[in-house]
Amino acid sequence: MRSFFLDAPQVYTITIILVVTLVPPPIVPPLIAPPMANTYDYDLVTIGAGSGGTRASRLSAAVYKQRVAVIELPFNYVASDQTGGAGGTYVG
């Protein structure tokens, strides 16, 4: 019987180089926008140009120098039952 000798085992040297880079996380914008300071068109918005809305709007504009908007639909400068109007009805 013939015996075979295997060659000596081969030894391999493996060098592993690990490169780690620290990258900061991406900046994600907030989901809610920050409040915008002093960007409003009006200081007071009054809904309704009846006797109370007109009085509040005129007083705020004259005394406190505020910018005022009045929302009234339908609108007419002279009050009537069909078109509404500024001033409303005297309640005194």
| Domain spans in the chain, listed from the N-terminal domain onward | 39-92
**Spacing of C-alpha 53 from chain mean position:** 29
Please report which helix (H) or strand (E) contains residue 58, including its range: helix 51-63
Q: Find where tokens 């391999």 sit.
A: 12
Q: What is the DSSP letter of 80?
A: B
Q: How far is CA 53 from CA 6, 12, 47, 49, 57, in A?
A: 105, 91, 7, 5, 6
Q: Give 39-51 pLDDT, tens digit per residue.
A: 778 989 998 888 8
pTM for this model (two decimals): 0.48
* pLDDT at residue 24 tops 70: yes
Give the model's confidence band at 68: pLDDT under 50 very low, under 70 low, under 90 confident, else very high.
very high
Cis, peptide link before residue 74, omega less than 30° from 0: yes
